[in-house]
Amino acid sequence: MPEFREFKDSATLVAALAGQIADLLRAGIRERGRASLVVSGGSTPTPVFAALSELTLAWEQVTITLADERWLDPAAADSNEHLVRQHLLQNRAAAAHFVGLKTGSATARQGEKECAARLALLPRPFDVLLLGLGNDGHTASLFPQASRLGEALALDSGQLCLAIIPPVAPYERMTLTLSALLQSRQIILHLAGSAKRAVYEKARANGPVAEMPIRAVLNQTISPVMVFWCP
């Protein structure tokens, strides 16, 4: 059962969430000498990124990567790497190490092997995984009705990442597989607004994972999940 935390407004949530992530990273550094953070793109986490970037911790001991990436040049406005560099790898957090998912390959499918090799060098389990939730029930780039969704959700595949093409959303993607996502000491789902709360409640109800892939994260017992939500 995910731990649900409700906040009165966005500012309160952002401060609490940034503080929570920083505490988890500090614990990882204290206990293992380094820590890893996996983040998602989109507009929702950008205030958290900005707040987190100002916090004091041994950022040079932190490695940051992405839960998924659009197959675009990292300088493109819609690139998740671009978002992270613009909002998170700033201020104190500029000292962190970043591992991008986009390779020089023409397609995500062609880049799978190199991307997996990059991810294999990161310390796992990840200390923190920050996820978002789409209105269609997707998380990372695990989209309903995507042709390779079953492969991406397989826990016994041994794959860290997988190229996937959303049926509706633009761009080919590279996504961490469910198996890789669950290799996290703490998963945090960040939600804002009544519409996302309704999607979350629907996902908590019984139903097929293929219909709402976020169910694979919410209804598992491998890694603890916390939900941060504000109206």
Q: Mapped to the 3 state alphabet, what secondary structure does 96-158 carry?
A: CEEECCCCCCCCHHHHHHHHHHHHHCCCCCECEEEECCCCCCCECCECCCCCCHHHHHCCCCC
Q: Note the pLDDT of residue 91.
A: 98
The answer to whether the beta carbons of residues 157 and 177 sit under 8 Å apart is yes
d(CA 100, CA 106): 16
**155, amino acid identity:** L
**pLDDT tens track for 89-123:** 999 999 999 999 999 999 999 999 999 999 999 98
Q: Is the pTM of this model over 0.85?
A: yes
The answer to whether the beta carbons of residues 160 and 116 sit under 8 Å apart is yes
Q: Note the pLDDT of residue 170.
A: 84
d(CA 225, CA 133): 13
Q: Note the pLDDT of residue 196.
A: 97
Q: Note the pLDDT of residue 203.
A: 98
**Domains annotated on the chain, with CATH:** 3-230 (3.40.50.1360)
3-state SS assignment for residue 43: coil
Q: Note the pLDDT of residue 168.
A: 86
Q: Note the pLDDT of residue 159.
A: 96
Cα angle, residue 65 at apex, residues 42 and 215 outer, rounded to 5° = 60
- As to burial, measured by CB atoms within 10 angstroms (0-12 exposed, 13-18 middle, 19+ buried), residue 52 is buried
Q: Note the pLDDT of residue 216.
A: 98
Question: For residue 204, how many C-alpha atoms fall within 13 Å in the half-sphere facing its CB?
Answer: 12
**pLDDT tens track for 37-66:** 999 999 999 999 999 999 999 999 999 999
**pLDDT tens track for 201-217:** 999 999 999 999 999 99
